[in-house]
Amino acid sequence: MSKSNFTRRGLLKTSAVAGGATLAAPQFFSPSWADGHAGYLNAPQGDTVTLGFNVPQSGPYADEGADELRAYELAVEHLNGGGDAGMMNTFSSKALTGNGVLGKKVAYVTGDTQTKPDAARASAKSMIEKDGAVMITGGSSSGVAVAVQALCQEAGIIFMAGLTHSNDTTGKDKKANGFRHFFNSYMSGAALAPILGANYGKDRKAYHLTADYNWGYTTEEAVRTSTEAMGWETVAAVKTPLTQTDFSSYIAPVLQSGADVLVLNHYGGNMVNSLTNAVQFGLRDKQVNGKNFEIIVPLYSRLMAKGAGANVKGIFGSTNWHWSLTDEGSKAFVKSFGEKYGFPPSQAAHTCYVQTMLYADAAERAGTFNPCGIAEALEGFEFDGMGNGPTLYRAEDHQCFKDVLVVKGKENPTSEFDLLEIVEVTPAAQVTYDASIFGGELGTCNPGA
Amino acid sequence: MDAIILQILNGLDKGSAYALIALGLTLIFGTLGVVNFAHGALFMIGAFCAVTLQRILTLSHVVIDDTKKDFLGNPLKVEVPYIYDWFGQETGAAIIDWAVPLAIIFAIPVMIIIGMVMERGLIKHFYKRPHADQILVTFGLAIVLQEIIKAYYGANPIPAPAPEAFKGSYDFGALLGFDANTIIYPYWRLVYFAFAAVVIAAVFAFLQFTTFGMVVRAGMADRETVGLLGIDIDKRFTMMFGLAAAVAGLAGVMYTPINAPNYHMGMDFLVISFVVVVVGGMGSLPGAVLAGFVLGILESFASMREVIEFLPGINQVVIYLAAIIILLTRPRGLLGRKGVMED
């Protein structure tokens, strides 16, 4: 006959000990859950490995999120041996064979970031806890990327960032478990400045309108630094609320300031609206200081450029990748994507596809899904054949260094996809910087168990 | 001085949009007593009437151009609008160019029907329910409407430009004796302001000088007595809902060249429009118009660089700050009437 030990005093003691332990070692995941995953968190069981695709499926960036998801589905198809293998044919590493990853078929779950850090963290947490995702990737905003990257670091999961352009993602907020393939604000500034100098001269007065959040600040700083270094003067820099839709009251005073260049440090809907408003005001038809007034959009997205319509014509900006690139990797990806979906991929789709391939390749080379093994395989990894030419995943900050594209809104587009033309492929060496300039500490890799 | 004139001009078109939406909101509140949170969605649907007409006018057939290649290297499929075939390329292009103004004709019946269906199908069941219920159901309706638009048109903004004739801006600076380029203002925004003035005047004239308007005004003052006189006031109020929807829709149609429409644009205006209604005085049509312009101009001034540098963040709160001050000093709003929303 068994005897129950359940007493009021016993319960209180147990509660006190458990409570004390919880307070002493606060952690993201419950101890009992982590106990079942010795070695590293979410070690794949059975014959599949699950990846978590965390993209904006609702909210203003839903179209960009949908394109990211298409790219992820294509990557999974290629990894599992389906389709035409896309960039696996051109990738310089030959570790991937189309037999899944480490012999396991790739499965995936999706989450909706809503382009809100809190929602993105919640969906990533759910994919890690409930679905056993061994890697989280995606997103269309730096705020989301920084938040989810921190969560993955805490949980012990690899985070392969999607579209995030702020210096902070691999600067002051970098983490050992986080990796970014996309370029950043600094690189945009460094690539754009010489082209702006060559086209608009070195004696210009710039007026910045800057989205009032993390990405806006780093982009303004990058463009200011690089243009001032070549002789431009910054007349004013005005922060605009992220929720702003009509920018007329910010644009109207620009001409009064004596500026002859307007820099729109805006992305997405902000960019579409501010550029549309600026063109409406006829700024580009004006002559100031004896020069044609010019507008610059440091970060272009083809999907967003579509929203601005004809207003993008002739306006310079930078982009991570464009479907019109003619290297073998880009051509292979455009063919795979275009034949499957009927239209060319966006830069967001490209970076997400490449990140998935790089993760899978790193797992194969490391021989494990352990985040620390994967991090080691990615750090300092040099590769080619994925668009953008030879690329380095720098060990010091987990940032990819590759060629950056300077683009211009096309004057005579032949289709709704043909909105931007590449005016310069800036070599990686020209946009490379010292890893220490943005501060932050990588810390140590967390395997999560 | 030139900066002040410029911000007054800026405030006028912003105020026009606020005033038009708030006017519709007040019409519905004044006649039906319903707090309609779906009114922003009607503004958005109006904008998408312009997008829809633009798409209808550009319905195309495909012609293969062997001399050009598409992104996959195949011969380029060029889309040629049917309207080019029917009217010739020049006339066809001109019709497409005028899609936004033409959408006014398209939007009026569409918006009246949508408004009346909305009222008969859903909102009439909530007349006798508390305002909280009305807010919840109309807010839910707004979300459903915007998700429908997103599902069909996508989340990205869709450009709907003004006709070529209205591109560019007018140099008020030169006109007023200031330096050239100091006070410039886009032609289309001037058109928008003039259009808003005409619509507002037409609504006031309709209510003031027609028998229908007289009955509606009587119904707004005392619904029961009008009903006792044998007048079917409910039917007239349904038509007023349709009219209010049309006003919001027209505001949306003409707004499309100012900002490319997206599914969320109604929500962006909704909260501010409610503030406008409250500041103007619940149920007061002239109050809604006056508050629309006052708050629009205030918002423009608060966006000036000099003001932001002096008071950081003021551009984001100025409307609410003004609302607090006005309501503290005039609890019924600028032109509010005694007895409205006070029972």
Per-residue pLDDT reduced to its tens digit, B250-301: 999 999 999 899 999 998 888 888 898 889 988 788 898 899 989 989 988 8
Residue A180: pLDDT over 70: yes
CATH 3.40.50.2300 range(s) for chain A read 48-183+323-402, 186-319
For the domain made up of A186-319, give the CATH fold: Rossmann fold (3.40.50)
Mean pLDDT of B66-75: 87
Using alpha carbons, select from A149, A143, A151, A154 the residue that is nearest to residue A117.
A143
Neighbouring C-beta atoms of residue A230, cutoff 10 Å = 15
A250: contact with B, CB 8 A cutoff: yes
Mean pLDDT of A408-434: 93
> Is A249 close to B169, i.e. CB distance below 8 A?
no
Amino acid identity, position B150? K
Mean pLDDT of A410-431: 92
> Is A269 close to B262, i.e. CB distance below 8 A?
yes
Phi/psi at B251 (nearest 5 deg)? -60, -40
B260: contact with A, CB 8 A cutoff: yes
State residue B12's pLDDT score.
86
Measure the CA–CA gap between A241 and A224, rounded to whole angstroms: 20
**pLDDT, averaged across chain B:** 89
Using alpha carbons, select from A302, A423, A303, A325 the residue that is nearest to residue A90.
A325
Amino acid identity, position B296? G
Confidence label for B311 from pLDDT (cuts 50, 70 and 90): confident
Measure the CA–CA gap between A375 and A271, rounded to whole angstroms: 35
A72-81, A406-415, B29-38, B116-125: least confidently modelled range: B29-38
Q: Please report residues of A whose CB lies closer than 8 A to that of B9.
A: 252
**Cβ pair B269, B43 in contact under 8 A:** yes
Distances in whole angstroms, Cα of residue B1 to Cα of each of B178, B190, B261, B304: 9, 20, 33, 13
Q: What is the CA radius of gyration of chain B?
A: 22
A236: contact with B, CB 8 A cutoff: yes
> Is B158 close to A307, i.e. CB distance below 8 A?
yes
Element (H, E) at A407: strand A404-409
Structure tokens at A68: 């990211």
A97-101, A219-223, B268-272: least confidently modelled range: B268-272
State residue A16's pLDDT score.
45
> Is A311 close to B159, i.e. CB distance below 8 A?
yes
> Is B268 close to A245, i.e. CB distance below 8 A?
yes
State residue B340's pLDDT score.
57
Using alpha carbons, select from A66, A54, A78 the residue that is nearest to residue A349.
A66
State residue A3's pLDDT score.
39
State residue B342's pLDDT score.
56
Task: Choose the mutation target among B64, B184, B298 for the interface with A, i.e. most A CBs under 10 Å.
Answer: B184
A301: contact with B, CB 8 A cutoff: no
Judged on CB neighbours under 10 Å (0-12, 13-18, 19+), B314 is middle
Residue A35: pLDDT over 60: no
> Is B159 close to A241, i.e. CB distance below 8 A?
no
A283/chain B closest Cα distance in angstroms: 8
Burial A319-334 (b: 16+ CB within 10 A, else e): bbbbbbbebebbbbbb
pLDDT higher at B286 or A189: A189
Tens digit of pLDDT for each residue in B213-237? 898 888 877 878 888 888 888 888 8
Q: Please report residues of A whose CB lies closer than 8 A to that of B185.
A: 252, 281
Judged on CB neighbours under 10 Å (0-12, 13-18, 19+), B46 is buried
> Is B303 close to A250, i.e. CB distance below 8 A?
yes
A337/chain B closest Cα distance in angstroms: 10
Smallest CA–CA distance from B186 into chain A, residue: A281
Structure tokens at A214: 């993390």
**Cβ pair A428, A331 in contact under 8 A:** no
State residue B131's pLDDT score.
85
Listed by number, the residues of chain B in 13-32 with a beta carbon closer than 8 Å to a beta carbon of chain A are: 13-14
Q: What is the ipTM of this complex?
A: 0.85
B184: contact with A, CB 8 A cutoff: yes
Measure the CA–CA gap between B195 and B107, rounded to whole angstroms: 15
Listed by number, the residues of chain B in 306-325 with a beta carbon closer than 8 Å to a beta carbon of chain A are: 308, 315-316
**Cβ pair B83, B95 in contact under 8 A:** yes
Listed by number, the residues of chain A in 81-120 with a beta carbon closer than 8 Å to a beta carbon of chain B are: none
B165: contact with A, CB 8 A cutoff: no
Confidence label for B71 from pLDDT (cuts 50, 70 and 90): confident
Measure the CA–CA gap between B208 and B279, rounded to whole angstroms: 23
State residue A326's pLDDT score.
93
The CATH architecture to which B2-329 belongs is Orthogonal Bundle (1.10)
Confidence label for B35 from pLDDT (cuts 50, 70 and 90): confident
Q: Which CATH class is domain A48-183+323-402?
A: alpha beta
Smallest CA–CA distance from B17 into chain A, residue: A246
Distances in whole angstroms, Cα of residue A329 to Cα of each of A353, A394, A406, A433: 12, 21, 19, 26
A182-186, B5-9, B59-63: least confidently modelled range: B5-9
